[in-house]
Amino acid sequence: MNISQEFLSPLEVRLTLTLSPEDYRPQVEKGLKEVRKKIKMPGFRPGMVPDGLIRKQYGLSVLQEEMGRLVNDHLMDFARHNGMDFFGQPLPVVGHEPFPNGLEDGMSFDFQYDLGLRPKVDLVPFRHTFEKAEPKPGTAEINDLIEQWRNRYFEDAYPETSEAGDRLFLRVTPAEGQDLSGQSARKGVTLVALDEIEDEGLRADLTGKGKGFTGTLTPYAMYGNRTESITKGFKLNEGEHLDPAIRFDFEVSNILREGKAELNEAFFAKVFSSTMDEAEFRSRTEEFIKAGWDQEAEQLLRFRMMEKFFDEYPMNLPDAFLRRLIKDDKQGCDHSHHHDHADHDHSGHDHQSSGTQYEAFAKQLRRDLVIDVLLKNNRVEITREDLLQEAEERLFRQFSSYGISPEQIPLRKYAEDYLRKEPNESSVYYNLKYRKAEDILRGQIQTIPASVDYSIFKAEWDEIFASQS
């Protein structure tokens, strides 16, 4: 057996493997014996089918199968022995025919494969100084947040009885005997401003009433001839019409009153859970805003830091090989010989991109390679427990956004189920290793504070992150 190599470029190598009869015959003979043990053929007892018949019927298929195994094993041994670190799997050379004179025992065969080699990454200490923005809240920002809190903590937001200026939640149901179908026939809840009710009698009936009050109304009595208001209030589908004279039964389900909490010690205590005067309250409000802005400033700093880090390692890739590898993977091609070569494909990205998407793929691949070396150099490993905890945090944020407490659900079980889907596991893995890389570099850099107007800072932050949320 002979293997030769030819470098097509610094990162692309072509291997030619020659198999002679003495290389593959022992394996073929062994394979034929295994077939003979298992094959069942009419007129013969199991394991007693004549050797000549087995060779005639199964010889070529066993020959091809065993040569495939030999090629796979010896290519892998050669690559390991020569320290080759390659992407994905070796690909058969396009246009090369290993059986130009047919497939027949006793002949020698040449197999050619291309490999795309990973570039060597030598990291140097990342010692840089970055500015960290420190936007300072002004009076307008402090006042805006206080006004939001005053609306949120208004105690009479849901009064017992209604008065002018309130809005009412009405649960409406088509009255008995009404001939309705579709969306209009279903129950629903509509929110209506008491002052905007068209019919004075209906408005008077609803004033001073509380939850549970019932009656009958028509869309016209609610909104007059305002078609858009009827469509919105009764949640009609596009193009659906509702006779404004149709009667609906209603029940007041809640009352909403807009107002503001008084600026007093009771309000201050609700916001910050401690008693204070107005001067301290405004100071604490400023600190609260600055803390939120500091998180955004830290996020922007880390983004700039990582971009600087990646820019220091532009590296070349075996582009021709990778373009073909991606294309073949996308088409689901079977290259006959597959190679399991270390854990190379944990990036969590879509490796089935091709054409115009290749540059984005290549950019991300370069970043993956640098991050992997950084983590390895710092002896950082990502365990299964790390993945589960990261998945739990992701699910916790998701459930919390719907008002679901994590105590209400078996979060660990949900995390395990979540990670069973390969795209989810890849995404969690990549996010985790990216953040670990961030933490390593964050401990190496120096920062200097930089005062900046928040509107300017926010514009830059939104340009980078808003589209990602």
pLDDT in tens, 73-120: 888 889 889 999 999 888 999 888 888 777 777 888 899 999 999 999
Instruction: Grade residue 351 by pLDDT with cuts at 50, 70 and 90.
Output: very low
Instruction: Grade residue 186 by pLDDT with cuts at 50, 70 and 90.
Output: low
My answer on whether 440 and 291 are in the same domain is: yes
My answer on whether 342 and 453 are in the same domain is: yes
* pLDDT(187) > 90: no
Distance CA 84, CA 331 (A): 26
My answer on whether 420 and 357 are in the same domain is: yes
| Structure-token match 């009064």, residue found | 159
Percentage of the chain modeled with pLDDT above 70: 91
Q: Is 263 domain-assigned?
A: no
Distance CA 118, CA 12 (A): 9
What's the average model confidence in pLDDT over 18-29?
85
- Asked which of 65, 98, 116 is the last residue of a domain, the reply is 116
DSSP run (H or E) holding 291 = helix 278-311
- Confidence (pLDDT) at 350: 42
My answer on whether 370 and 248 are in the same domain is: no
My answer on whether 460 and 343 are in the same domain is: yes
Q: Reduced to 3 states, what is the DSSP secondary structure of residue 223? A: helix
Q: Is 141 domain-assigned?
A: no
- Asked which of 204, 223, 256 is the last residue of a domain, the reply is 256
Q: Assign residue 42 the CATH number of its domain.
A: 3.30.70.1050
> How many helices and strands in the chain, by DSSP H and E?
14, 10
* pLDDT(247) > 60: yes
- Asked which of 199, 227, 256 is the last residue of a domain, the reply is 256
The answer to whether 441 touches 309, Cβ cutoff 8 Å, is yes
Q: Is 9 domain-assigned?
A: yes
The answer to whether 172 touches 250, Cβ cutoff 8 Å, is yes
My answer on whether 65 and 94 are in the same domain is: yes
Q: Is 266 domain-assigned?
A: no
Distance CA 79, CA 45 (A): 45
Overall number of domains in the chain: 3
Q: What is the pLDDT of residues 156-166, one digit of tens each?
A: 888 999 999 99
| pTM, full prediction | 0.70
My answer on whether 408 and 301 are in the same domain is: yes
Q: Assign residue 195 the CATH number of its domain.
A: 3.10.50
Among 219, 224, 216, 168, smallest CA distance to 192 is for 168
Q: Is 404 domain-assigned?
A: yes
My answer on whether 63 and 166 are in the same domain is: no
What's the average model confidence in pLDDT over 9-35?
86
Q: Assign residue 324 the CATH number of its domain.
A: 1.10.3120
Question: Domain of 210?
Answer: 158-256
My answer on whether 175 and 238 are in the same domain is: yes
The answer to whether 16 touches 4, Cβ cutoff 8 Å, is yes
* pLDDT(400) > 50: yes
The answer to whether 14 touches 113, Cβ cutoff 8 Å, is yes
Q: Is 127 domain-assigned?
A: no
DSSP label at residue 175: P
The answer to whether 116 touches 321, Cβ cutoff 8 Å, is yes
Q: Which residues contact 430 (CB under 8 A, 6 or more apart)?
A: 346, 347, 348, 349, 368
My answer on whether 175 and 313 are in the same domain is: no
Least confident span in 100-114, 162-176, 191-205, 441-455: 100-114
* Sequential DSSP letters for 34-51: HHHHH---TTS-TT-S-H
Q: Is 198 domain-assigned?
A: yes
My answer on whether 88 and 192 are in the same domain is: no
Q: Which residues contact 196 (CB under 8 A, 6 or more apart)?
A: 223
What's the average model confidence in pLDDT over 290-306?
96
Q: Is 147 domain-assigned?
A: no
What's the average model confidence in pLDDT over 176-188?
66
Take residue 369 and report the two structure tokens written for it: 């390679």
* pLDDT(331) > 70: no
| Structure-token match 């007093």, residue found | 264
What's the average model confidence in pLDDT over 118-125?
94
My answer on whether 459 and 327 are in the same domain is: yes
* pLDDT(353) > 60: no
Distance CA 294, CA 135 (A): 8
Take residue 403 and report the two structure tokens written for it: 């008002």
Instruction: Grade residue 191 by pLDDT with cuts at 50, 70 and 90.
Output: very high
